[in-house]
């Protein structure tokens, strides 16, 4: 009789362990998906701010039309980018680079730099860029936690049985590492 209770207790403990490990994997996967969604929310905010920024700049920078067109094209390309979030990140990086160029060119227009509307939009966009970076860092943290759990023993056996797969990180591209070049 004692042996039966011991075997039953071991089975119950194993079942509870499997349930706990499965739930922790699900929790981490959902947090990574939530973090990815947070990135999309911030990108949408950036898409909404860019047309306002371009309009505020247009009057001051009529002869810098190419810069404004590049920002608009990059925004459109980023909004229409398909594929995985990591594949869409390349279009987002291009948009970030064109925005940096816009802000660098705006340095040549003292009236524009002093314009309250432009300054507010620039602050909002800078804040949004910071939130995008924070969201990407949070996503990478969640992916690291999930991948570590998936790859660690003994959870890796359970993860394989339930088809949990390692996720990819957001990474900096070579273009992002280069300084912004402004030509006149």
The residue ranges of every structural domain in the chain are 22-177
If one compares 157 and 82, the residue with the highest pLDDT of the two is: 157
Band of residue 64 on the pLDDT scale cut at 50, 70, 90: low
Selected residue with higher pLDDT from 16 and 128: 16
pLDDT for 183 equals 41
Q: How many CB atoms lie within 10 A of CB 13?
A: 10
CATH numeric code, 22-177: 1.20.1440.20
Instruction: Give mean pLDDT, residues 72-81.
Output: 79
The model's pTM is 0.62
d(CA 139, CA 160): 22
- Write the pLDDT tens digit of every residue in 170-184: 776 655 555 544 343
DSSP annotation string for 18-36: HHHHHHHHHHHHHHHHHHH
**86 — pLDDT class (breaks 50, 70, 90):** low
Radius of gyration of the chain (CA): 24
Instruction: Calculate the CA 104 to chain-centre distance.
Output: 24
């Amino acid at each position: 009789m004692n042996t039966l209770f011991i075997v039953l207790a071991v089975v119950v403990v194993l079942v509870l362990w499997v349930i706990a490990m499965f739930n922790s994997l699900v929790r981490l996967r959902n947090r990574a998906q939530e973090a990815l969604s947070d990135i999309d929310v911030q990108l949408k905010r950036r898409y909404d701010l860019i047309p306002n920024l371009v309009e505020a700049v247009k009057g001051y920078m009529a002869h810098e039309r190419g810069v404004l067109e590049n920002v608009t094209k990059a925004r459109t390309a980023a909004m229409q980018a398909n594929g995985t979030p990591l594949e869409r990140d390349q279009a987002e990086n291009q948009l970030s680079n064109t925005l940096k160029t816009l802000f660098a060119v705006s340095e040549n227009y003292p009236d524009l730099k002093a314009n309250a509307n432009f300054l507010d939009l620039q602050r909002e966009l800078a804040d949004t860029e910071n939130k995008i970076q924070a969201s990407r860092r949070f996503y990478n943290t969640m992916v690291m936690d999930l991948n570590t759990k998936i790859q660690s023993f003994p959870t890796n056996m359970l993860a394989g049985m339930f088809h949990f797969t390692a996720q990819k990180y957001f990474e900096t591209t070579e273009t992002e590492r280069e300084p912004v070049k402004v030509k006149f």
